[in-house]
Structure 1
Amino acid sequence: MVGPNWKEGHDMRHHHGPFEVSLPDDNATALEIICSIIHFQNDKIPRTLAAADVLAVAVAADKYDCLNALNFASKTWLRECKGNPEDLMLLATAAYLFRNAQAFKELTSALVLNHLGSYLGLGGKEVESVLPWEVFYLLEEQRGFARLEIAEILINGVNSGGCGYGCGWTSTYAHAYISKLEEENLWPANFSNTSISNALPLGGIVFQNIGLVVALGWSA
């Protein structure tokens, strides 16, 4: 930008004394943080940042080719931040820009486990302008695979309580089991209403409680 081939650089060469460069398209807070890091102003570097601010810093650092200078600070920000799906998407986008594969993996895994709706639109235009569309496709694909695997395990549980002696226990167990799945929104038709992170512990509760439910019904 300050080279002779750019307008700003050309103007500077014909100006004596301090020269002010206008940056209307850049985030002022993000640039201030970047400058503080580059100039070792440690007292001005925040230990934690909101997800939107982390992405703003990543975008500015990518634009001005100083991602490497922010390597240590960005790892701290990405590690400390947690939040709702919108924040997770913003942070995943920042991790993508910072080339932090581990943080990107952890954040996208959290999105697969905890988000119910569409991934498109999460984070807004800032995210869509950075992440390739394949990322959204892969997130949806991985969530679909995870739901299918959990659904298969839960459905197979219908037959896990059979006694093999024709005593009626099997049908009683199966009815109680299916009713419990429907009650917890874990029946495949309703599975999309429950996040994977919620489905996993609920599935365990179903398995643990069905024996007691059936036993109580049997004794009655």
Structure 2
Amino acid sequence: MSIHIIPHGRVTEHIKKGLRDHSSVEKVYLLPSHKFADVSAELATELETFGYDIEIREVDAFELRSVVDTIVTVAKENPGEDLYVNITGGTNLMAGAATSSAFFIGAKPYYVLERQDDESLEELVISLPAPKQPLTFDLSDAQREVLEQLGDWDNEGRTGIIGRQLGDALGVSSQKISYHTGQLEERGLIETHPQGRRKEIELTDVGRLYLRWTGGKQND
């Protein structure tokens, strides 16, 4: 099933253009702010006449976490489905949150340009590079503990972390730390850097965002 997740504000023409450019769209989640809930309801009625299954979920247009959490929730409710995110509408924050969220859930983000001359619909709808696979939101408890410990040390400005230090802090064997860090590195949440016989471990920017958006102990 093809599902489109669409944050928006007052303007909605780009939504209809984006949907027309994609075949086999079965369900659409409209994400308006409270201010434009009536606009969303009117649009939903119009889209339903064309056979789309519409669901409206209000977000705070000026709260990053609100937009991200809503998109992530939709993805979790629809595992294994073909997800698209229209990043065109709403505030700049909504667009940025939608783009980042598309990366996390493994969706295909796209942008709809305004018509300037006589461009075709295909020329107006721009697909953005999509991740090879979504990040796994449900890490194991042990992997989450490793990531959060690295997050705590990252907040303190501590660098040069090695596996033995993680093991000592968490009471976990070096072999298990090696396995967990390998899994986290595959997901792009951490990276390792050989320093002689040592292998130093640090969070990536994606890891920091992951902790912030999934309730980790990262600073805002």
Tell me the TM-score normalised to structure 2 length: 0.30
Bigger relative contact order (CA 8 A; separation at least 6) = 2
More helix by share: 1
Look at both structures and tell me which one has the larger radius of gyration over its CA atoms. 1
More strand by share: 2
